[in-house]
Amino acid sequence: MKKMVVKTGPSIKLIRTNKGYSQNYVSNSLLTQGAFSKFESHDTNIFLSTFERIITRLEISFEEFKYIQNGYEYSQRDRLLNTLLNLTYNNRGELKSLKKEAESFLEKHEDLLIKDLITICESLIILGETNSIEMARKSLGTVWERLSKRNYFYITDIYFVNTILFLFPLETALEIRKFIFRSIDRYKNFQDIERLKINISINIMLLLMKENKFRDALEETHRAIYLCKTHSDYLRLGICYFRKGICFQKLDFNGTEWLDKGRSLLLAIEEVELLNLLEDEMNRMLSTQIPN
């Protein structure tokens, strides 16, 4: 078996001593105490399989270990990805700042994922500045070309596609949703990935509304509301309530109750900027006539 260079002994020692565990306890049946002591002193390398069993015995995940080893911070790459994937809405200032930092990162590192991140930022910035989905789609060709060749999506792929899902034509987005859900089902409850179905449903909802398919969008809100309640996601529940109200209004029903519920929920969690964006969205949609 090929040995992996894992020069992380001092971090392991710090965690072990903080937990009050002896070298004998952590290394038992994995390494001799002498070999483990040398590893902690940063003098030797160990097998990856042994390292995995050590951190399991220390009761931490690999992700937590990386975070601790990096001084209780995400690495720059992880921080860039997390920033994009956690954006609730397209804040152009944040997107431009993220794009600039990602470009700086690429000056020192070759990384296809960060290149895709920059392309996505560019597309979302164009959308915010022009309100043109057609223009925003143009720069996404390279990202989608790479991702679409895969037999199924990995977790980062799923997050990336979800970020840009609302930029696809409706029929394409509905097919992509099926593919994403099959990929999510492979992971089952890994890292609470089922919550991603909420974001995807909200993106589909918006696409349906933009295509004036308000009855279909209303059905989508019901699915999304159920998921939001299941996962106690009150921010997105507020979005769903508000868009449900818009759908009712467009279908000549009284949507005031749902609009008010959405407003109250978003104000309660102090998401004022997001509420303002939804109000603008509502005003645009209610001022547009549905074609016969």
Helices (H) and strands (E) in the chain, counts: 17, 0
Q: Over the chain, what is the mean pLDDT?
A: 90
User: What is the secondary structure of 48-93 as a DSSP string?
Assistant: HHHHHHHHHHTT--HHHHHHHHTTSS--HHHHHHHHHHT-SS--HH
pLDDT confidence of residue 141:
82
Q: Which pLDDT does position 16 carry in this prediction?
A: 95
pLDDT tens string 78-110:
999 999 888 877 788 899 999 999 999 999 999
What SS3 state is found at 21?
Answer: coil
**Which one, of 35, 37, 45, 53, lies nearest residue 8 by Cα?**
45
192: three-class secondary structure by DSSP: helix
C-beta separation of 99 from 118 below 8 A: yes
Distance between terminal CA atoms of the chain?
68
- Distance CA(288)–CA(207), nearest Å, equals 15
* Cβ contacts of 63-72, under 8 Å, gap ≥ 24: 65/8, 65/11, 65/15, 68/11, 68/14, 68/15, 69/8, 69/11
- Indicate the SS3 state at residue 20: coil
Helix 155-164 and helix 76-85, axial crossing angle in degrees, nearest 10: 40
Model pLDDT, residue 292: 53
Q: Which residues of the chain have pLDDT under 70?
A: 1-7, 290-292
pLDDT for 134-171, tens place per residue? 888 888 888 888 888 888 888 888 888 888 888 888 99
Please give the Cα distance from 139 to 219 (Å, whole number): 32
Q: What is the three-class DSSP state of 247?
A: helix
| pLDDT, position 251 | 95
Predicted model pTM: 0.76
Q: Whole-angstrom Cα distance, residue 228 to residue 198?
A: 7
- The confidence score (pLDDT) of residue 3 equals 46
